[in-house]
Structure 1
Amino acid sequence: MKEIEITGIDSNFQREELKHFFGFKGGYLTELWQNIVRIESLNGFESIGIGTQSVLYGDANVFASTSESNGNALMYVVTNKALQRIQGLQFESPIALLDHLIPELYQEAKQITGIEELNINFLYNALLSVDNALWLLYAAENNLRTFHDMIPAPYKNALSAQNKKIAIMFQVSYDMPIADIVQAADDGYFVFKIKTGFPGTPEEMLHKDIVRLTEIHQALKNKSSKQTPTGQVYYTMDANGRYPNKQLLQRYLDHARSIGAFDQILLYEEPFIEENNENVSDMGLLIAADESIHNEGDAYEKLALGYGAFVLKGIAKTLSMTLKIAKIAYEHSIPCICSDLTVNPTLIDWNKNIAAAVAPFPSLGMGLMETNGDMNYKNWTEMKSRHPYPNAPWANPIQGAFELDSHFYQTGGGIFEVHDYYKNLFKHK
């Protein structure tokens, strides 16, 4: 591959308001900043990378330490520090360049946020737009036209599938009305991702989570679907690291059994605080690791602790890091799903490319990913118009799934074609 020299950098951002308070990880968001960068190369190529910032996901302590807007501003500063560091550098692989950047940039991010124990996911989130731009520049310089072509050889086997369909995990937030959940089932959605980990003490959290599961299951238990082998709808749960220990989580699962919901649970995402090192192989349920996998070492540690699935977050932790995690999952024959960050329409298809390329999820026979921007952004229709193919069949849910065709694979879901809207955010010479 070519050695690419970076000769120009620029950045911008936009604030996108949410329709309502969006609760997870014990906190609430009201807006999400869209972080956009442009990178130019010596050979005359340029690329535009887009990222959605989520400070609450990246590090809840940063989110709680300051105002929501200032937290976003701090993350944007880190993005620009990264751009300054790559100016004038040469690279052959985005992965190698990010590996070079991260150690010093992480120390700088600690100083910027004032958080010494900064969760590195904050840094990954800040680097997302930069990483995406680097991958698109890498593709342009090397005349790579599809997502599969863009994946370096060591990672191709892990992302070699071509799923024809991807089930959409319909996100159920803390406060979503039951009527909306029922309507989603009537509209064909068949996998419901229930946000657990309500704000409060561990006991208060558990009580609220149990009440919430009861009302959701009561509303959905008789709903059927032709998309699942059992004919029932399925649940996944995501606590975003809120449960302190297995004992508390087991009480939640025992309640799920008591009301007849347990057999409909596909998996439980990231239940425990990061300090928890309990083995989960005896939980009787597939436990998936998400935020707690910061690097390859963490992935191997989670495997040793009995975690049976990985949540890939290429739209939060960068594609560069995600490829490493996907490779480990492939080598150990454990399934992967792709989780959302309430991202914009363009980033949905970055995520969709990954979900389409990993092995089908067991018991579903298709890919599995979450997307929830349409239900959370106030200006979603306008945002969708900035996608290169907003009306493509593969760009819109059909009966709770994305149905992928040759056009999707040929275009990489449109990620190689940046809309003029984003180009016009930058001043051209």
Structure 2
Amino acid sequence: MPKNNNIQITDTYSDFEREKLKIPFGFKGGYLSELWQTGVRLTSAKGNRSIGLGTQSVLYGDPDIFSSWSEAGSNALMYALTERALQLVESMSFDTPVGLMEELVPDLRREARRITGKQDVNENFVLNALVGLDNAAWLLYAAETGRNTFEKMIPAAYKPALSHHNDQIGVMFQVSYGMSLEDIREAVNRGYFIIKIKTGQPGTQREMLQKDKDRLSEIHDLLNDRSTVQTEDGRILYTLDANGRYKKRETLEELINHAEKIGAWDHILFIEEPLSDDNEQKVSGLGIPIAADDSLHCEEDVRKRIEQGYEVIVLKGIAKTLSLSLKMARLAHKEGIPCVCSDLTVNPILVDWHKLLAAHLPPFPGLDMGIMETNGDMNYQNWSQMKSYHPSGDASWTEVTEGTFELGDDFYEESAGIFYPSSHYEKLLSVT
């Protein structure tokens, strides 16, 4: 793709808000109590301005940093990295946001090591810090080039992977370590049919495995006799997400054998990122598709995981930037590998950024719809208020119906409202 570098950034600004969670939210062997919502404002030489949002999750980005600092302290480190990114891009020019991120990330890696004092900072920490900037760059790019819808905004090189209009998106309902069985039952009563079970619980590998077996058993006992109209065979589906906590394939095999023993095996749609980032064992032949997620930081990682037998690619445009997700989706599409979109407990506007990505991906095999996770509504204390910040927060596509988002022509015509201004975030970022 030729680089014209015709979009010049002349001014930047950022701020953040702290949003409390209802209860501590557990994954990756740790617990979050709040998430910082960052806003980034960019101004171009032509006078166009844009606002992009991000949700910081240091526990997702680098669990070691999260555990080594106070929760607020680790968030401050990530926000400092966002601020440094804005200093670097001021007076930079770019052709597309993809190129801007490619140019920026190497410098930010070095900055992350300096800011945190950690020489092996996880790449996800860097990418998470860039989401607000990346989204602002996309909106600035759209304004500068007259590409005023999501579809028009996507460069031609990535369109084949994002050429679909799904009528529905199946929502993965996230079950954290501490969620009660009553809450899970109520979710199925409301129509959710893809239950995403957080595995990889705290403790040693043996302790983790036993807790995960027990958790799967109690959830399957609860849901085994339930049915749904959303799947061909009527089964409620499970996905398991260990966030890289399993050290060896053999431990994962024990969990899969347990699933088969209790009759849960054929309910499992896929297992998400079970092995640690540095584990290079092949995962083919396990009988259940394995999805790559946290370990994907670039196209080469996607290619490597496919060679290792991973059969699903998880995109996190709201955690690793839309720019990177487009490149990953393109490679997965070329290789015939299906993609799904996984959440980061993001705010309502970011949910719709991600929904647009999920909506344009090919339907997931066997379901005839896209798949995404969203869990902010059940985790934030002030979700209703946060939803009021969304300029299209009352639109029908923002509500889950029988476990799906129903997407009509208005969703696509209005690009889920992401191009509309949010008075709340304009005020936060002092746009007058």
On whether the aligned pair clears a TM of 0.5, the verdict is: yes
Amino acid at match of 1:364: L
CA–CA distance in 2 between the matches of 1:307 and 1:330? Answer: 14
Of 298, 310, 322 in structure 2, the residue corresponding to residue 295 of structure 1 is 298
Corresponding pairs, count: 429
Paired position in structure 2 for 1:360: 363
Cα offset, 1:426, TM superposition = 2.4
Q: CA deviation at 1:245?
A: 0.8
1:133-144 equivalences in 2 (<5 Å): 133-144=136-147
Residue 55 (structure 2) pairs with residue 52 (structure 1): yes
83, 99, 102: which one aligns with 1:96:
99
Question: What letter matches 1:427 in structure 2?
Answer: S
Counterpart of 1:412? 415
Which of residues 204, 211, 216 in structure 2 aligns to 1:213?
A: 216
Residue 411 of structure 1, CA deviation: 1.3
> Which whole-Å CA distance do the structure 2 matches of 1:126 and 1:153 have between them?
27
Is the contact between residue 94 and residue 131 of structure 1 (CA under 8 Å) also seen in structure 2? yes
Q: Please state if 1:66 is matched with 2:79.
A: no
Corresponding residue for residue 150 of structure 2: 147
2:40 to 37, 42, 47: 37
Q: Secondary structure at the match of 1:193?
A: strand
1:325 corresponds in structure 2 to: 328
Are residues 1:77 and 2:80 paired? yes
Query: Is residue 2:198 matched to residue 1:195?
Result: yes
Q: Which runs of 4+ in 1 moved over 2 A?
A: 426-429
Residue 351 (structure 2) aligned to one of 348, 352, 367: 348
Q: Distance in 1 between matches of 2:375 and 2:421?
A: 22
Seq. identity, %: 53
**What is the alpha-carbon distance in structure 1 between the residues aligned to residue 107 and residue 317 of structure 2?**
22
SS in 2 for 1:19: strand
DSSP 3-state at the match of 2:53? strand
Given the alignment of the two structures, is residue 105 of structure 1 paired with residue 108 of structure 2, yes or no?
yes
Deviation at 1:418, TM superposition (A): 2.5
**1:145, distance to aligned residue in structure 2 (A):** 1.5
Instruction: Judge conservation of contact 2:171–2:405 (CA < 8 Å) in 1.
Output: yes
User: Equivalents in 2 of 1:146, 1:397: separation in Å?
Assistant: 23
Q: For the residues of structure 1 that align with 2:44 and 2:124, how far apart are their CA atoms?
A: 28
Residue of structure 1 in register with 2:10 after alignment = 7
* Residue 121 (str. 1) matches residue 120 (str. 2): no
Q: In the alignment, which of 234, 238, 243 is matched to residue 240 of structure 1?
A: 243
Q: 2:273 aligns with which of 264, 270, 276?
A: 270
Q: Which residue, 302, 305, 310 being the options, matches 1:307?
A: 310
The answer (yes or no) to whether the contact 1:340–1:372 under 8 Å persists in 2 is yes
Q: Structure 2-normalised TM-score? A: 0.98
* Mapped contact 2:5–2:93 kept (Cα < 8 A): no
| Cα deviation 1:246-278 (Å, max 9, x = unaligned) | 110111111111110000100000000111101
Residue of structure 1 equivalent to 2:173? 170
In 2, Cα distance between equivalents of 1:352 and 1:253 = 30
* SS of match in other structure, 2:317: coil
Deviations 1:111-165 (A, max 9, x none): 1011100011100000000000000000011111211111101100001111000
- Report the CA distance between 1:2 and its aligned residue: 7.5
Kept in 1: contact 2:226–2:235 (CA 8 A): yes
Range with greater deviation from structure 2 (96-105 or 166-175): 96-105
Code of the residue aligned with 1:396 in structure 2: it is E
**What is the root-mean-square deviation in Å for CA atoms of aligned residues?**
0.9
For 2:418, the aligned partner's letter is I
- Distance change (3 Å), C-alpha of 1:387 and 1:427: closer
8 Å CA contact retained: 2:62, 2:122 = yes
SS at match of 2:34: strand
Contact 2:339 2:361 in 1 (8 A): yes
Normalized against structure 1, the TM-score is what? 0.99
- List runs of 5+ in structure 2 lacking aligned partners: none
Matched, 1:381 2:361: no
- When residues 314 and 252 of structure 1 are mapped into structure 2, their CA distance, relative to the original with a 3 A threshold, is same
Pick the aligned partner of 1:224 from 223, 227, 233.
227
In the alignment, structure 1 segments of 5+ residues that lack a partner are none
Q: Secondary structure at the match of 2:416?
A: helix
Q: After alignment, is 183-192 or 384-393 more displaced?
A: 384-393
Q: Is the 8 A contact 1:314 1:351 kept in 2?
A: yes
